Structure 1
Amino acid sequence: MGTRADAERITDEDLITCWGLFHEALSATSPLLLRGIDPRGEDMSGPWFEVLIRLQRSPQHRLPMSQLAREVSLSSGGFTKLADRLERNGYLERQACPSDRRVTYAALTEKGLALAEQARTRHVALLREHVLAPLGADGVRALAEQARKLRDSSRRAHRSAEHKR
């Protein structure tokens, strides 16, 4: 965590500029990281790809649907529509939780796992080109560390606000 003296050395304009640059960088880089991700040449929007990758990296290639919706920043309704589309294309199946009837898992099918692995390979190549090359290994590690701090701080703030309701 930064000290109070550190915070006082940053002007309001510096802080606004920093955050604006971060947003511009993310907006400019994100489309580059999805270019050609779907080996079939179809449009693989950010949330679709994000769902496949998160499931591919999860134990048993499945997660509770509510958790997955939260992690990809979609509303329950928006995620349901996306899950329906993925299921229609044969990439995902819904599985009931045997111990809790309220929980439904989204799980990759074999076809979904194969697509996720192909997409991941392409995504990693794009990350190396558009993130690792300009930032270097130390820059990538520093970015991950700072992003983790922001994420964790934001989660604490959200939990605190929810408890006050």
Structure 2
Amino acid sequence: MTTLSGGPTDDQITDDDLITSWGLFHEALSATMPILLRGIDPCGRDMSGPWFEVMIRLQRSPDNRLPMSQLAREVSLSSGGFTKLADRLERNGFLVRQSCPSDRRVTYAALTPEGLELAEQARAKHVALLREHVLGVLGSEGIHSLADHARKLRDNSREIA
């Protein structure tokens, strides 16, 4: 039995097919990520770690801020790891911590004007790299399919966790 697209059904996918597919996805991500982050810091600072993901998430959030615990979770960092990164971003003047007026247990990470400017500059370079190395390879249909599949995997993982 095959699917409408002519591909194998779920019960025809072998263990090796499954392992190979997941391995290729992992290899593709590992090989592509450094290319997509190449030169995105317009000031040439060595800000290692997931700083860019933090900056972009804040830049795309209302009021350019998110609860620190949510942000740490979204960028897959432990609480301690995120605190160290936030400290470094704060020392560089890109981020401030803000208390939540309605819940003292919540602390927000918020971009400073300098952080917003850096995030916007880095984002522009990153988008150019995405267009070249992802959209140029996958095409628009592939991009939509990739987003759909990634969303399904993410949402399923959240339901299990």
Q: Same fold (TM over 0.5)?
A: yes
SS in 2 for 1:15: helix
Structure 1: gaps spanning 5 or more residues = 159-165
Report what 2:35 is aligned to.
32
Q: Does 1:89 align with 2:103?
A: no
CA contact (8 A) 1:34 1:44 kept: no
In the alignment, structure 1 residue 51 sits paired with structure 2 residue 41: no
Query: Which residue identity is paired with 1:68?
Result: L
Structure 2 counterpart of 1:128, which letter?
R
SS in structure 2 at match of 1:93? strand
**Matches of 2:138 and 2:12, distance apart in 1:** 25
1:107-146 correspondence runs (5 A)? 107-146=110-149
Partner of 2:150: 147
> How far has the Cα of 1:132 moved from its partner?
0.2
Identity value in percent: 77
| Runs of at least 5 residues in structure 2 that lack an aligned partner in the other structure | none
Once superposed, what is the RMSD of the aligned Cα atoms?
1.2
Paired residue secondary structure (1:99): coil
Residue 9 (structure 1) aligns with? 12
18, 22, 26: which is aligned to 1:19?
Answer: 22
Equivalent residue of 2:158, what SS?
A: helix
Q: Which runs of 4+ in 1 moved over 2 A?
A: 43-46
The aligned residue for residue 79 of structure 1 is: 82
Instruction: Write the distance in 2 (CA, Å) between the matches of 1:134 and 1:44.
Output: 28
Verify: 1:65 aligned to 2:68, yes or no. yes
- How does the TM-score come out when normalised to structure 2? 0.93
**Higher helix proportion (structure 1 or 2):** 1
Give 1:6 deviation, angstroms. 2.2
The whole-number CA distance in structure 2 between the counterparts of 1:26 and 1:44 is 20
Superposed CA deviations along residues 16-59 of structure 1, whole A, max 9, x for unmatched, are 00000000000000000000000011234351000000000000
